[in-house]
Amino acid sequence: MKRKPNGLTITRAALLLALTVSQLEATHGFFMTGHGTKSIGMGGIAAAYAQDSLVAATNPAGMVRLGNRADIGLHILAPKRKYSYTGSDASVGCHEKVDQSECEITSDTSVFAMGHAGINYMFTKDDAFGVSFFQNGWMNTNYPENNVVFAGTGLVGDNVRKEKNCDPCGDPLGLNLMQWVIAPTYSHIFRSHESFDHTIGIAPLIGIQAFKTKGLHRLVMEEQTEFNTECPKPLCSVLPCHVTNRNHDMAGGIGVQAGWTGRMWDHYHFGFSYASKVFMSKLKAYRGFLADDGKFHMPAHLSAGFAVSHLVQGLIFGFDYQRIFYGDIKALGNPFERAGLKTGACEQRCFGEARGPGFGWKSTSVFKFGASFQVCESWIFRVGASHNRFPFKRKRNKNLPPEETDFACETTEADLNILMPATVENHVTLGFSHQSNGHEFDFAYVHGIGNKVTGPSALELGDITLEMRQHSVEFNYGYRW
């Protein structure tokens, strides 16, 4: 007899459907380049200078400077994610390339769409309420074939592969992480002096999250092979049935963000904001994979910015600094070496423990630059750039010649980051707006410049190279009244 879906199941399915069509953005780690089409066109700057009702995602104190305004928009992104490995005696390749020395696998699903919306209302001349809906973070990989290690085959030769009747690359490998935030905002402006005013704002952050992995059968095998001859131990999980191939699991959480902006002589703008960690409920279906019993909190972050407007008629330029505290999230920040596979590392932690293996991500800094120029009453054009360092642990390969820039950086966290290859470090942006009678159409383009990161595998995959590059466009309709 078939079970009828209950209300909770239907609600979870509806949320997941809404999120599935909106998984991507150009990213710093898995955080967005910026929020709001105008901000994105200027490299993501928004801490000091507010331009639309998505500014609450960066600094809620900017909302009161907008007046009455509403925005709705769509972001479309085309990323390319891939990895390659050279193989070893234990894993020699994949599918038809089994006898070759190197295997390269490119992630499927190359075009994604996402939406955003926001509204701000001035209920007095000095006070505003608003609500913004935006994507906090994303990471997605969908490799059509697995590799022999994550698939759990090829580790002890062809006999095991035949006994299990298992194609080492037949089962897809991947991860999907989606984080959304609803931010109701209150902001107030203090008009203390003719040449200076300042604002404050606060926003509770209501988080929604979906997570899924597939193809990590290595962690759930009944018999696991010992990699290490000096200190032999297999990978392990505290809950092997809660690791992989369990469809999307949903979680919710709450945090808070507060900010300040100041303006001097109408031309000089300053801003600062801090968002706390969004404390998420457990992803119960993946408690055997994510460190700290399935808790994947949204990282805390801070932003500080400076902008100059109209010293030259029509010209605005600015700079933002952002710090994202990835390293404070155990599921992200715990190093993979805690799996105990490294030669001589005789202390082992299992996946799912509070101190269990993770992705080895560190907190990272982002530097954003942007400018806009209003050429006439109706048209504004924008340009920008941003830079960050890829978030997982790195080391410099001093043995390579300087001209080999693609592989000048190495990581000791390559294995699990096959699932989260956040290697992009530089973005360039362009944008424009057309406005008339309170109506506004905004456009932005972002290019995430491709970057490769290589490193040795602890899982007998030889040398792993991770790569990602991104193209995206965003459209927004805004209305002021």
Give percent of the chain with pLDDT exceeding 90. Answer: 54
Max avg pLDDT among 69-73, 192-196, 417-421: 69-73
Within-domain flag for 341:
yes
Instruction: Say which range, 11-15, 57-61, 187-191, 237-241, has the weakest mean pLDDT.
Output: 11-15
Look up the CATH number of the domain holding residue 209.
2.40.160.60
Give percent of the chain with pLDDT exceeding 70. Answer: 78
Within-domain flag for 13:
no
Within-domain flag for 419:
yes
- DSSP of 25-44: --EETTEES-SSHHHHHTTT
Max avg pLDDT among 5-9, 89-93, 212-216, 219-223: 212-216
First and final C-alpha spacing in the chain: 56
Domain count along the chain? 1
- DSSP of 231-248: S-----BSSGGGSSS---
pLDDT band with cut points at 50, 70 and 90 for residue 97? very low
pLDDT value, residue 158: 36
Instruction: Report the 10 Å Cβ neighbour count for 48.
Output: 29
Who wins on pLDDT, 95 or 288? 288
Within-domain flag for 1:
no
- In the predicted structure, residue 420 carries a pLDDT above the cut 60: yes
The 3-state DSSP class for residue 327 equals helix
Query: Which residues, in sequence order, are bridge partners of residue 425?
Result: none
**Parent domain of 457:** 23-480
pLDDT band with cut points at 50, 70 and 90 for residue 350? confident
The 3-state DSSP class for residue 328 equals helix
Q: How far apart are CA 171 and CA 156, in angstroms?
A: 19
Within-domain flag for 5:
no
pLDDT value, residue 102: 59
pLDDT value, residue 18: 43
For 141-186, what is each residue's pLDDT tens digit?
988 877 767 776 543 333 333 333 334 445 788 999 989 999 999 9
For 213-235, what is each residue's pLDDT tens digit?
998 887 765 444 444 444 445 67
Within-domain flag for 365:
yes
In terms of Cα–Cα distance, which of 269, 276, 389, 273 is closest to 319? 269
Within-domain flag for 2:
no
**Element of type H or E holding 163:** helix 158-163
In terms of Cα–Cα distance, which of 110, 254, 267 is closest to 196? 267
Query: Which residues, in sequence order, are bridge partners of residue 197?
Result: 263
Residues 30 and 137 sit within 8 Å (Cβ to Cβ) = yes
Per-position b or e across 360-391, b if 16+ CB within 10 A of its CB:
bbbbbebebbbbbebeeeeebebbbbbebebb
- In the predicted structure, residue 242 carries a pLDDT above the cut 80: yes
Within-domain flag for 11:
no
Q: How far apart are CA 31 and CA 208, in angstroms?
A: 15
